[in-house]
């Protein structure tokens, strides 16, 4: 099967533990696929499987549900995994490392690249994972939410995790600033533009009084070179000047 593994590299298993509403399973599938993750596992879904509400909500992400593995117990569902993260809202007294999603997905990515199988567990709506489920994890992931208002739902929690995994996979891309469509103007083009304005403004009596003319010209040159104009910007400014003066004489 042609999964995004080919584009994105190896993926973690997104494991929904005892999910309740089918809609939330479908929404989680959508959240995953937004960031190219397709590997879902479902442990003991409350309303059985398959679930028409999940399918309806997933819509374009239905293939994630079609390919999902469904298991009766968590032990079965993660038996083949080398490293397991558990997401949790509350801080727990379980003597395990607690990582940010960023740090966890950075690790997860590195482990997947070494061929290890990695799972991330998400608990049921409202109640979250039980302690005996968390006990099966190697480390915890805690999203740094506002302690006074923590209301992430299941799909949002999956979304942030998938986003962070994808972000780690695109290390090189995320600092890149692209300029859509237009090339930067060269220094000589900016120079000619500055001259064009200087001449016409001189003729129009802009540089006045005489004693300040030199400083005013320097200030204006300065501005043109500081603006990081594109080639199209330069053309536009030439055009503006020509049009403004067209009907003058």
Is the Cβ–Cβ distance between 121 and 132 less than 8 Å? no
**Scanning residues 13 to 32, which ones bind a copy of itself (CB under 8 A)?**
30-31
Q: How far is the CB of 192 from a copy of itself (least distance, A)?
A: 17
Structure token digits, residue 28 = 């989680």
Is 29 exposed, middle or buried (CB count within 10 Å of its CB: 0-12, 13-18, 19+)? buried
For a copy of itself, which residue of 111, 117, 156, 189 counts as binding (CB under 8 A)? 156
For a copy of itself, which residue of 23, 76, 138, 163 counts as binding (CB under 8 A)? 163
Selected range binding a copy of itself among 17-25, 67-75, 122-130, 171-179, rule: CB under 8 A: 171-179
Q: 47 or 217: whose CB is closer to a copy of itself?
A: 217
Cis peptide before 50 (omega within 30 of 0): yes
Q: Identify the residue whose tokens are 């503006």.
A: 240
**Alpha carbon distance 233, 249 (integer Å):** 26
DSSP letter at 184 equals: B
Selected range binding a copy of itself among 11-19, 67-75, 116-124, 165-173, rule: CB under 8 A: 165-173
Q: Order of strands across the sheet with 40-43?
A: 69-71, 40-43, 13-17, 118-122, 83-87, 139-141, 98-99
**Alpha carbon distance 101, 211 (integer Å):** 62
Q: 80 or 249: whose CB is closer to a copy of itself?
A: 249
Please give the full DSSP string across 200-218, using - where no structure is assigned. HHHHTT-S-SHHHHHHHHH
Q: How far is the CB of 65 from a copy of itself (least distance, A)?
A: 13
Asked if 244 interacts with a copy of itself (CB under 8 A), we say yes
Asked if 218 interacts with a copy of itself (CB under 8 A), we say no
Q: 48 or 248: whose CB is closer to a copy of itself?
A: 248
Q: How many residues bind a copy of itself (CB under 8 A)?
A: 71
**Scanning residues 134 to 153, which ones bind a copy of itself (CB under 8 A)?**
143-146, 149-152
Query: Residue 40: beta bridge partners?
Result: 14
Taking each helix axis as running N to C, give the angle between helix 154-169 and helix 22-34, from 0 to 180 degrees, rounded to the nearest 10. Answer: 20
**What's the full length of the chain, in residues?**
249
Asked if 243 interacts with a copy of itself (CB under 8 A), we say yes
For a copy of itself, which residue of 159, 185, 193, 194 counts as binding (CB under 8 A)? 159
**Scanning residues 44 to 103, which ones bind a copy of itself (CB under 8 A)?**
60-61, 91-100, 102-103
For a copy of itself, which residue of 56, 113, 204, 213 counts as binding (CB under 8 A)? 204
Asked if 174 interacts with a copy of itself (CB under 8 A), we say yes
């Amino acid at each position: 099967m042609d999964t995004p593994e080919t584009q994105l590299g190896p993926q973690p298993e997104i494991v929904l533990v005892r999910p309740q509403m089918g809609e939330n399973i479908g929404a989680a599938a959508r959240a995953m696929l937004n960031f190219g993750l397709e590997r879902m596992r479902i442990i003991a879904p409350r309303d059985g499987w398959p679930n028409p509400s999940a399918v309806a909500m997933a819509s374009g992400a239905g293939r994630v549900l079609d390919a999902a593995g469904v298991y009766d117990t968590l032990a079965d569902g993660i038996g083949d995994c080398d490293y397991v993260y558990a997401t949790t809202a509350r801080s727990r007294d379980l003597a395990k490392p607690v990582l940010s999603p960023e740090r966890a997905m950075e690790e997860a990515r590195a482990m997947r690249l070494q061929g290890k199988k990695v799972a991330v567990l998400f608990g049921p709506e409202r109640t979250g994972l039980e302690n005996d489920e968390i006990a099966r994890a190697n480390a915890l992931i805690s999203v740094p939410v506002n302690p006074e208002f923590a209301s992430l739902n299941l799909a949002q929690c999956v979304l942030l995790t998938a986003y962070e995994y994808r972000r780690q996979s695109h290390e090189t891309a995320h600092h890149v600033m692209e300029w859509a469509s237009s090339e930067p103007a060269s220094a000589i083009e900016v120079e000619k533009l500055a001259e064009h304005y200087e001449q016409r403004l001189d003729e129009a009596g802009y540089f006045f009084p005489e004693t300040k003319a030199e400083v005013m010209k320097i200030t204006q040159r300065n501005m043109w070179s500081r603006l990081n104009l594109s080639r199209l910007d330069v053309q536009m400014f030439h055009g503006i000047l020509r049009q403004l003066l067209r009907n003058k004489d």
